[in-house]
């Protein structure tokens, strides 16, 4: 196995932020929900503090749509 790269070969990575413990991370899209749930469960008694970076939420639909090819089927 080679070292993981920063390319998106495994799909889009989504930045998450937690204002309570000043954590930021980039998580593969498919793992975001589980990662946030575990983080909040372990560190914040289940409070929904960690979340997807608000700056990205607006673009997330586009990101996913692009990844799925929905916006790029004209070529």
**Chain contacts with Zn ion (rule: CB under 5 A):** 18, 20-21, 43, 50
Q: Kindly state the smallest distance separating residue 28's Cβ from Zn ion, in Å.
A: 19
Q: Which is nearer to Zn ion, 32 or 50 (CB)?
A: 50
Question: CB nearest Zn ion: which residue?
Answer: 18
Q: Which is nearer to Zn ion, 21 or 71 (CB)?
A: 21
Q: Kindly state the smallest distance separating residue 35's Cβ from Zn ion, in Å.
A: 11
Per the CB < 8 A criterion, the answer to whether 65 and 34 are in contact is no
Q: Which is nearer to Zn ion, 18 or 29 (CB)?
A: 18
Produce one character per residue of 14-53: b if its CB has 16 or more CB atoms within 10 Å, e if not.
Answer: bebbbeeeeeeeebebeebeeebeebbeeeeeeeebbebe
Per the CB < 8 A criterion, the answer to whether 24 and 56 are in contact is no
């Amino acid at each position: 196995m080679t070292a993981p790269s920063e390319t998106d070969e495994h799909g889009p990575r989504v930045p998450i932020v937690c204002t309570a413990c000043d954590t930021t991370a980039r998580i593969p899209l498919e793992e975001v929900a589980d990662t946030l749930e575990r983080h909040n469960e372990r560190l914040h008694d289940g409070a929904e503090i960690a979340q997807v970076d608000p700056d990205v939420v607006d673009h997330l639909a586009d990101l996913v749509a692009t990844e799925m090819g929905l916006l790029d089927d004209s070529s």
